[in-house]
Structure 1
């Protein structure tokens, strides 16, 4: 079982992650959606497409743009559709 933790809080847990470029992409339904805040941030990956971000909100703490996903990935990245990955201090293990 792979877990994602930030600020002593479990963010996600699944035994069905997809690893791409060293990042675990969790199924969206394995992530605690109550901790996600939509962000206007986007970025572009040449082979995955346009990523969108969430900030994490745990108690009074916020980790801006600490989660990302590809709502419409390019064909070579179809395996990460409907999945969310983390960075910026989120511990995966």
Structure 2
């Protein structure tokens, strides 16, 4: 079981078989993320091999931490091929969010 925690709050949790590891990051399926803790950020980014990225802000109590998570809504077909699984919509987190095996 993998967990993503911000402070003491678990914001995502999924079984090992359901997460995807890409470039040292754990990507959680969208259904494993707690509802209401993420919102779209306007920061633009396109990864040369994965495609257009959607950055996300993460709610920490009453404040929003900008660009602390990201997802690839429509990764390039070649990226899906390279990873070996479709990771469309999966969410990864920046260092403020502790990701570990529970």
| TM-score using structure 1 length | 0.92
The corresponding residue for 2:64 is 62
The corresponding residue for 1:8 is 8
Question: Is 1:52 matched up with 2:54?
Answer: yes
Q: Deviations over 1:27-47 (max 9, x none)?
A: 001001311122111211111
Which secondary structure does the structure 2 equivalent of 1:34 belong to?
coil
Task: Please provide the CA RMSD for this pair.
Answer: 1.2
| TM-score using structure 2 length | 0.84
Alpha-carbon offset, residue 13 of structure 1: 0.1
Task: Flag structure 1 segments of 5+ consecutive residues without an equivalent.
Answer: none
The corresponding residue for 1:75 is 77
Q: Flag as ranges the 4+ runs of structure 1 deviating above 2 A.
A: 76-79
**Aligned positions, number:** 93
Structure showing greater Rg: 2
Alpha-carbon offset, residue 51 of structure 1: 0.3
